[in-house]
């Protein structure tokens, strides 16, 4: 099998969009401290770039949630891998995700987090793929809406490859 990547969103487009999202977050959280909850591993690039542009005070938390494994289709089995009973009671929490796809994982995660009593709980995603939605999820801050394509780069991977690309591309797997 041969893997090919076609660029969908350039490095500059990503940077410009993160600037826009950061401006909105700075307005919405003015005078508050926000806890950025980075969903590992895919959203680490996005979280770091976003945090550098925020002027409001931030704290970082990290969580690993998975439903993909090494495939290109969600397994449907949602696992919270790293949690350590995250303490967010009374905090303004902004969950940072790389992509919202079916909504199943994020619906489960947001429901779980809401039970921990945050002052507010919002979702920020670099990419949104609404055509694949099976569970409704409100995304408060969205970078790009994309079609139903499997994407890699800027933190997103295929079997742990391509995370380090500075753009987002569609992964195409061709039989030899």
pLDDT digits (tens, 9 = 90+) for 79-110: 565 555 688 999 999 999 999 999 988 998 99
What is residue 100's predicted lDDT score, i.e. its pLDDT? Answer: 95
Taking the C-alpha atoms of residue 99 and residue 111, their distance in angstroms, rounded to an integer, is: 18
Cite the active site residues: 101
How do the domains of the chain map onto residue ranges? Answer: 10-148
CATH for 10-148 (3.30.10.20, 3.40.30.10, 3.40.50.2020, 3.40.50.720): 3.40.50.2020
What predicted TM-score, i.e. pTM, was given to this entire model?
0.89
């Amino acid at each position: 099998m041969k893997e090919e990547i076609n660029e969908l969103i350039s490095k500059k487009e990503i940077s410009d969009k993160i600037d826009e999202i950061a401006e909105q977050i700075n307005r919405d959280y003015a005078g508050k401290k926000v806890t950025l909850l980075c969903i590992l591993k895919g959203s680490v690039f996005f979280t770091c770039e976003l945090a550098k542009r925020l002027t409001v005070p931030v704290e970082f938390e990290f969580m690993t949630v998975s439903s993909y494994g090494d495939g290109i289709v969600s397994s449907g089995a949602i696992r919270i891998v790293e949690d350590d009973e995250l303490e967010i009671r009374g905090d303004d929490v902004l969950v940072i995700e790389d992509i919202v796809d079916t909504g199943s994982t994020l619906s489960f995660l947001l429901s779980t987090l809401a039970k921990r009593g945050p002052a507010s709980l919002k979702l920020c995603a670099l990419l949104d793929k609404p055509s694949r939605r099976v569970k409704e999820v409100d995304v408060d801050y969205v970078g790009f809406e994309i079609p139903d394509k499997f994407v890699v780069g800027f933190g997103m991977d295929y079997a742990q490859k391509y995370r380090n690309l500075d753009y987002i591309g569609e992964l195409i797997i061709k039989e030899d």
